[in-house]
Structure 1
Amino acid sequence: MRYLRPLPHPAADGPRLAGGWLRFDRVAVHERGHPVRIRPVTEIAEADLEPFLTPRAPIAGIDFDRPSIMGILNVTPDSFSDGGRFDDTAAAVAQAEAMQAADILDIGGESTRPGAAGVEAETEIARILPVIMALAGRRLSVDTRKASVARAAMDAGAVLVNDVSAMTFDGDMAATVAAADAPICLMHAQGSPETMQADPRYDDVLLDVYDALVARIAAAEAAGVRRNRILIDPGIGFGKTMEHNLTLLRGIGLFHGLGVPILLGASRKGFIGTLGDAPRAADRMGGTLAITLAAVAQGIQMHRVHDVAQVAQGLALWRVTGGYDGALWN
């Protein structure tokens, strides 16, 4: 099988990538067991280029012709970066106010950090519902693996489901999302949070994750979820070593071939601390911004971050200093 990865270039006069802010004039051709080859788009069949040429439809009212920000709001006692800081409704609302620059806020009531134990759906619902109701009027996502939690959150006003298990944890999730005609983000993970960092292995992490997401998109569509309601996330840090994470980030443009918007969740993660000499998660904003800008330069549409104001400022400065074809980003 052949996999194509678009290669944006500041001086390119080729087609727009996914209707976004970049143009590309070459593609990297990946095949298992073969070196990567670079080819001009003029040598690629139009049918093979279609996923890269088709603009992404808005999801939950968010347009993908510019980078967007998903703000992380964990109302848990044990999340890896901010556990216990916002598990009180008043503290969560205050944090939401500090993240006004976010296009959407992702509310989570269960930690999925490496080694985290699961919680009962009732506990998760009790944590998130007061916050969702207090934030009526804001665009909200629910970060959950459980169908009953997703249903309760959507009933309370959430407009997107962010499932780190890509609907493999709860067999009712697909039907729940399809019945609500709700958008869903399908994330790749190898194993469960309790075990996912215990010696994760891949034949080729970039292509293996791509194939796994192809299968999860197909499963969602088979259950009645419309393709224009789907985002994907390659799952940085979820069953991946540091080298796996870096390989995915360097080649993340490959996932445009899935024909759906891409969400990146690398904020404050451990590999940033290792490479950036920042043992404390709260000190990893600089590394998070660097990863975000590198991904924006590959056309990645949505960025799930803790430090919303700082990332929004970085994107604004990158925009006006010519980090992309500014004429395409209105």
Structure 2
Amino acid sequence: MTINCKGTLIDVTSPKVMGILNVTPDSFYDGGVHKDDASVLNHVELMLKEGATFIDMGAYSSRPNADFVPEDLELKRILPLLETVLKNFPDALISIDTFRSEVAKQCIDAGAAMVNDISAGKLDENMLQTVANLQVPYIMMHMKGTPQTMQQHTDYSNLTKDILFYFSERIAAARALGIVDIIIDPGFGFAKTLEQNFELLNQLELFKMIEKPMLIGISRKSMIYKTLETSAKEALNGTTVLNTIALQKGASILRVHDVKEAMETIKLVESLKT
């Protein structure tokens, strides 16, 4: 299984790591940490050295009940930092975490390699056509509602079947427009209760039937620290445990705050296959 990033084929049969770079003041774990060029570049350099294949940049926090961010502010936050990162690390494969087509377009035009959309095109009717025009890989996540309302939308007739149906519909819509490289993200923590997150993880291998690379974003999330009665700061060990399970159930990309530990997890799990 490969995806084409800026002319380079990335083989995700061997799992890869996507390092998180939030340039927001209110993200649940690292909000406000990376607010100047030096801190951003230091963090990117560290993640690349530790083995990240992709860097996921976002300027709109999607945590539950996150503040609404106008499009012009999102662009103002992300474009200058994206340009700075690519000036210093021109070979870096940058994923843009946005649900807005105009943000996606401007960032891809500035040199980003792929689009990571928490709404799978449902929050911007122009997103799928924009990605098709740009011909870049597209990560589509499962979510209901918006970051502000998603925790009010946790009713499912059958959680796994409903999410599988959602992806079949969204993938068909993307393919119809000519999007080639599609990655699915089941959306841990998005419109799902604590119990539903673990139900989803327990049945994750069923998503292999979609035959698309699967990105898993569990890093330091509340399903870990609430279960352990701790905090996001103390959730690295729990993250590693759940990432291990996700890899064994078919994850292709781990989206994480802690690249070194994720790389070690992949290496150990891959050693089981030899």
Q: Shared topology, TM-score over 0.5?
A: yes
2:246 to 295, 306, 312: 295
Preserved contact between residue 217 and residue 254 of structure 2 (Cα < 8 Å): yes
Q: Partners of 1:254 and 1:209 in 2: how far apart? A: 11
2:3 aligned partner? 58
2:265 aligned partner? 314
Aligned-partner SS, 1:275: coil
Count of residue pairs brought into register by the alignment: 265
Preserved contact between residue 115 and residue 195 of structure 1 (Cα < 8 Å): yes
1:195 Cα deviation after fit: 1.1
1:316 Cα deviation after fit: 2.4
1:199 Cα deviation after fit: 5.5
1:266 to 218, 231, 238: 218
1:256 to 208, 217, 239: 208
Paired residues for 1:115-134 under 5 Å: 115-134=65-84
Percent identity of equivalent pairs? 39
Q: Partners of 2:257 and 2:85 in 1: how far apart? A: 18
- Bigger drift between 66-75 and 91-100 goes to 91-100
Aligned-partner SS, 1:134: helix
2:234 to 256, 266, 283: 283
1:84 aligned partner? 32
Amino acid at match of 1:257: M
Mark the runs of 5 or more structure 2 residues left unpaired by the alignment.
none
What TM-score does the superposition give when structure 2 sets the normalisation length? Answer: 0.93
Aligned-partner SS, 2:66: coil
Task: Please say which structure displays the higher CA radius of gyration.
Answer: 1
1:76 Cα deviation after fit: 0.3
1:90 Cα deviation after fit: 2.0
Aligned-partner SS, 1:70: strand
1:142 to 60, 76, 96: 96
Paired residues for 1:83-232 under 5 Å: 83-100=31-48, 101-136=51-86, 137=90, 138-198=92-152, 200-226=154-180, 229-232=181-184
Preserved contact between residue 89 and residue 130 of structure 1 (Cα < 8 Å): no
1:275 Cα deviation after fit: 1.7
Q: Deviations over 1:80-117 (max 9, x none)?
A: 11100013222111111121211100000000100012
Relative distance call for 1:166 and 1:130 in structure 2 (3 A) is: same
1:317 Cα deviation after fit: 3.5
Preserved contact between residue 243 and residue 254 of structure 2 (Cα < 8 Å): yes
Q: Partners of 2:215 and 2:202 in 1: how far apart? A: 15
Preserved contact between residue 247 and residue 269 of structure 2 (Cα < 8 Å): no
Stretches (4+) displaced over 4 A: none
Aligned-partner SS, 1:276: coil
Preserved contact between residue 3 and residue 137 of structure 2 (Cα < 8 Å): no
Aligned-partner SS, 1:118: coil
1:313 Cα deviation after fit: 2.2
Amino acid at match of 1:288: T
Preserved contact between residue 202 and residue 208 of structure 1 (Cα < 8 Å): yes
Amino acid at match of 2:56: D
Q: Partners of 2:230 and 2:36 in 1: how far apart? A: 27
Q: Deviations over 1:176-209 (max 9, x none)?
A: 1111111100100021110111261111111111
Amino acid at match of 1:210: L
1:131 Cα deviation after fit: 1.9
What TM-score does the superposition give when structure 1 sets the normalisation length? Answer: 0.78
Q: Deviations over 1:222-276 (max 9, x none)?
A: 22212xx100100000000011100111111111111211111111110100122
Amino acid at match of 2:233: A
